[in-house]
Every structure is written in structure tokens, then in C-alpha cells.
Amino acid sequence: MPHLAAAVDVPEGEDCAELVGLAERGGLDFVTLGGAGDVVGALAEAAAVTRRVGLVAMSVEGAGVVGLDRVSGGRGGGLVSAEGCGSGYFGFSGAFSGAGAFPEARVASGTGLSPGACPLRVVDAGDPAVWGFAARYGDVALVRVAGTGEARAARERLRALAGEAGRDPDALRVLAALVIDLGDGERAAVPGHGGGGPRASARGPSYRGGPVDLAELIAGWYREGAVDGFHLTPVEPRRDLERLVNGTVALLQHRGLFRTFYPGATLREHLGLGRPVQASR
């Protein structure tokens, strides 16, 4: 079944917990939150009122993500990048160089990570230049692609790079990043936004239309082996997430194409991932 995640980027000062709860009711794998505010604090508050949905911070330091994973019972994760990873960051040991790679990528002994604290590593892989990094060290790679052919090529290349790095390619999930505008309700997708693929926009690949056609897009891409799932960024979080969960996700569930309950308790379990294994140099 496809993996689904959604951004809950409400304006600074607004509570995202309600949206996180809505995502959990829909069975989404995880939500992401970015911005300049107290991202970890907001997600920790959401963790207190949810039980299963994953919580991924997109703009914080590694120590905060490790803490989030602990307080949420193994549901935490964060964005990692080649530039941001230094010694001990997010469980990494060593430093990244553009010409090479990390001397080591492992759960470093100095971080104090316990078996219950192993945050998910999400890499923004919109730029092919970082695919090597994503394939070697990421658990989830977010790609920006405009059609199934481009998506499949990206996924196959990332999996091949993971294998070259000594990893099991099945330990990497490739999700298509898609901006969604469900303001048209049940209307068909705007021409060019559904069916063959989303339309390019300033924010990246974008879908504008109704929940039903979005469900068709998700199911179609997954059936063709183009991606492992989607990371969806609503144009209007409160409106679009409600329509995503009660429309798109409900339809996928009705067709047996998406979970109706969480079989596991941690984010890694939702994604079918184990603890990260050190890649070969």
C-alpha cells in the first residue's frame, strides 16, 4: 500500500495539534511541520494527544529531533541535509564532504540514543545533486517529479545508489512531494493537474482539483511502481487536510488501497523500516 504524509504548516502561533489528530484519524504515516517557531515543542504537544501518527520536524537541530522521538514513543523524525550534519548530529558520526561522503553514518555512541530513540531521517531530494546523500543516509527521500516516468526513474536511481552504498534498497522510501489545492471540492482535476501528472508551479509539482481525482493519481502512481507514496502539502491546511482525509484517504481505504488502522506503534513500523544500518564507505 502507498505511504502517505502531509504537511501541517499552520501560521506561527496557531496550534497544529488538531490537524495532527485529523491526520491520525486518516491513518497517515506521518505529518511534517516546518517554520521558524518552536517546531519540536508544537509536535511534542501533538504527541501528547495522539498515539500513532509520526511527527517529523523539518527545521530543527538534531538534538531536538532525538528528544521528540523519545517523548513520542518512537514516532519522531526530522529533516537531514549534507550541510547540516556534523559530528553527533541526529545520530551521525563524522562530517559530509561534497566530493566524498560521511566517514561513518551510524547511531553514534556519544549521542546516548537508546533502542527506543532512533528518529526517522528525511531528506529533501528535490535536487538530483543530493540523491547520493539521500540514498546513503536517508530513510525517506522526497522527490519533486511531474509524471510517472520521471518518478520511476528517480526511484530506481535512488534505490540503485542505496545498493551501491551497501544498503538494502528496500530500506529507503521514495515519496513524491506534491502541493495540493482541494478547493474545487468534488470537481474534476483542473486540466494538466490530474491523470498524467501534476503541473509545475513555483512551489513545485502541484495538484488542483477534487479528492476523488487525487485518489486516482495516488493509486495510479503506486500501481505503476513510480513511488512508494506521497508527501502532500496543502495550500490551505485546515480545508485541504480535511478533504484529503475524509475524501481522498477514505476512498483509498474503501478500495483496500490504504490502511484503516495502524498495525504498529512507531513511525519506522508504519513505514516498514528497521533501525538504520551503517552504509559502506
**Angle, to 10 degrees, between the axis of helix 17-25 and the axis of helix 39-48?**
50
Q: Higher model confidence: residue 229 or residue 198?
A: 229
Give the model confidence (pLDDT) of 62-104 as tens digits.
678 999 999 999 999 999 987 755 434 455 443 333 333 333 3
pLDDT of 235: 93
pLDDT of 197: 58
Residue 279 lies in a domain: no
Domain range for 41 is 3-270
What global pTM score does this model have?
0.86
Residues 263-272, mean pLDDT to the nearest whole number: 96
Under 8 Å between Cβ of 63 and 39 = no
Residue 189 lies in a domain: yes
Beta bridge partners of 54: 30
Residues 107-134, mean pLDDT to the nearest whole number: 74
Residue 75 lies in a domain: yes
Into how many domains does the chain fold?
Answer: 1
Residue 239 has pLDDT above 50, yes or no: yes
Give the model confidence (pLDDT) of 14-56 as tens digits.
789 999 999 999 999 999 999 878 899 999 999 999 999 999 9
Residue 255 lies in a domain: yes
Residue 115 has pLDDT above 50, yes or no: no
Residue 3 has pLDDT above 70, yes or no: yes
Contacts of 14 (CB under 8 A, 6+ apart): none
Q: What does DSSP assign to residue 126?
A: -
Residue 193 has pLDDT above 80, yes or no: no
Neighbours of 135 (CB within 10 A): 25
Stated as kind and residue range, the H or E segment containing 21 is helix 17-25
Residue 40 lies in a domain: yes
Query: What are the grid coordinates assigned to 10, written together?
Result: 499552520
Residue 278 lies in a domain: no
176 falls in which pLDDT band (50, 70, 90)?
A: very high
195 falls in which pLDDT band (50, 70, 90)?
A: very low
Residues 115-121, mean pLDDT to the nearest whole number: 76
**Taking all residues of the chain, what is their mean pLDDT, rounded to a whole number?**
84
- Half-sphere exposure of 210 toward its Cβ, with a 13 Å CA cutoff? 8
Residue 77 lies in a domain: yes
Residue 33 lies in a domain: yes
Q: What is the CATH number of the domain that holds 202?
A: 3.20.20.30
190 falls in which pLDDT band (50, 70, 90)?
A: low
Under 8 Å between Cβ of 37 and 12 = yes
Buried b (16+ CB within 10 A) or exposed e, 159-184: bebbeebebebebbbbbbbbbbbbeb
Residue 138 has pLDDT above 60, yes or no: yes
